[in-house]
Each structure stands twice: as C-alpha cells, then as structure tokens.
A = this chain, B = another copy of it.
C-alpha cells in the first residue's frame, strides 16, 4: 500500500524536504489517548542535528495537529500531524544546468521511477527530513504503550569498530537511554564514538553503525505465522527508514554460525511466568511473541553525502562526471536515526497489539 503502512493502526507519510509541509496521518488510534506535546517535542529534538557531530542545519521542527485531537486527547479519528518546512535556501537550487546523481542517494532511482517530475530539492520525498513526521507519529503512541507496560529503547550498539556494552537491566537501561541525546550505555564507548565521528568529519567522510532496539514488556501470543510475523512487520517498517540496510532479530546472523544446542532458548517456569533462559530468538518464535524482550539490530549505512570527490553521472544526459557535495551534511546519522527506529518500532508494536486485542485496547478512561 505504498505510503500507508499498518493493519489496525496505519500511518500515511507525505512531504518533501523543500515543500510546504511534511506530515503523517495516523488512522486507527484508540480514542482518549493523552497527547503529550512536550514528549513529542523532546523526541523531535533527538532527531535534530546538533553540536559538532552533526550538520549545521538547525530547524525548529514546529508541529501542529490538523485533526484527530480534541481537548488534548485522541478522538479516535485520523490524526494528522503537520510539520512546516522553514529552512529553504532556494538559492541552493538556483541555476543548475544538469544535476548529477549523488552516489548512494535516490537521485537516480527517483528519476527512473518519477521520470524527472520528482521534487528533487534536498532529496525531496527521500529526504531524511521526512522521518521527523515518523518521529512525531511515534511519539503519539509511545505513551500509550508505556501505559500498557511496554517500553522501547534503542542504543548505538556499534559505530565503526567501537562497541557499546550489552543491555544489562532492560527497564533501567531504557530509562537511561530516554534521557540521552547520544544513546550509548557505556560512557567510554560513547566518548570513543563521538571522537570517531569528529575524526570522520575531519576526513570529509561519513560513517555507519548498528542500532540495537529492545521492546520490553510485550505480551506473548502476538503476531502471525504467515505473513505478518512480528519479524515481517517490524522489518517492513524499519526498512522504510532511509539508510537501513540490515535488520536482524535476537542473535540474528550470529545464529547462522552456531549450533542448535547453543542457541535454542530453554523455557522455564519463573514463579508462574513462562520465560526463556537465553533470548537468542529475540522474543519471537514462529513469528509470534513469547513474552521475552524483542531484540532488533538495524544496520545504518554511512551517510551517502560526503565532501570527498566522487565519480558519478549526470541525470539527463547520463554523461560521466565528478561530484563534490557541498552544503550541510552529517558525518554520521546513527545517533539521530535512533529515535526514528524507536518510533517506527513503536508504531509497529501498537499495530500488532491493536490487531490482536481490538481497537479499544489503548482507549483512554473518561
């Protein structure tokens, strides 16, 4: 369904980087959910570029609700979030003769799909900026999940060859991460990662990393064997986020190198709750949640925009050319992508639960 995703809760995204607005429509929200405007702002801030490790471009990311909110609560009808685009240096896109296809970007594929009618300015509909609408949408549902005891946290598991420590106490670690702009659990690793990004910037280059996400408090019995497995739904959502090229669950690719006896998660009775001793399956068996934390790792590629000169072709003539990308761009986006991954995950989890338990599952009290 293209730009609409979800069964019981669906999200529709629209907008281009340099158009009037970007935005999202959430359809299927329960009525009476509290809208926490401050939390939405905080989440949007986490996505914003800041400090030395990010692009200089700073935007306000103002937002408003066009519909679906009344007296500070969801109405149950479609909620449309609008985020105006304010920084548009039109001079940047002035008198070009012929545009080159930026390597690693969607310029060429957009051309093949949209035949040159695409609004290419700033990446258009492919811009990372569109994820602001996704973050705002996620911030609408995250408090409702929390009310049901479900919390979501993402940290930078690795950046280049620097690794963060593993989650130790999910509840606590998620709480800690929720207050961090640069979401790393180990302070030492954090410093190294920041230094690495600064070093990368100095080299006019960019760098990628791995995000690890945990969904904690998920009830068992949610998801489908075919084709809406929890992995299918989450990866479908996550792979829409620009720059994500790998998604794995539990031990993921490590499972592929090992033995059943090592990786099977033995069940045991923990004072009446059935749990598993290990969690190599990442909380999912046969596509359905088993009540253990859902563990997801997402590979974020290095930002394709780099200052270094690159070989490429011109979009109209197809002629070979050289390109040195000017303007503002990030040496790394992984610390900003983290809140996008959190948000997409939250939207998927909400959808899975509403599909299972009905549209009133997240309903507020009157």
Contact = CB atoms under 8 A, between A and B. Distances in A.
A226 B318 contact: no
**Quick one: which of A114, A117, A208 has the most chain B CB within 10 A?**
A117
A357 interface: yes
A274 B7 contact: no
Contacts of A115: 31-32, 76, 360, 363, 366
A326 B109 CA distance: 52
A4 interface: yes
Given A226-B2, A236-B235, A302-B255, A75 B125 contact: yes
A268 interface: yes
B110 A267 contact: no
A10 to B, nearest CB: 6
B75 A16 contact: yes
Nearest to A64: B20
A281 B245 contact: yes
A267 B300 CA distance: 21
A248 interface: yes
Nearest to A363: B115
A345 interface: no
Contacts of A138: none
Contacts of A28: 2
Interface string A262-288: 111111110010101100111011111
A5 interface: yes
A135 to B, nearest CB: 14
Contacts of A280: 301
B256 A21 contact: no
Contacts of A263: 104, 208, 301-302
Given A200-B259, A208-B259, A264-B302, 11 more contacts: A1-B228, A3-B77, A4-B4, A5-B227, A14-B27, A21-B80, A76-B115, A108-B220, A112-B288, A245-B281, A255-B302
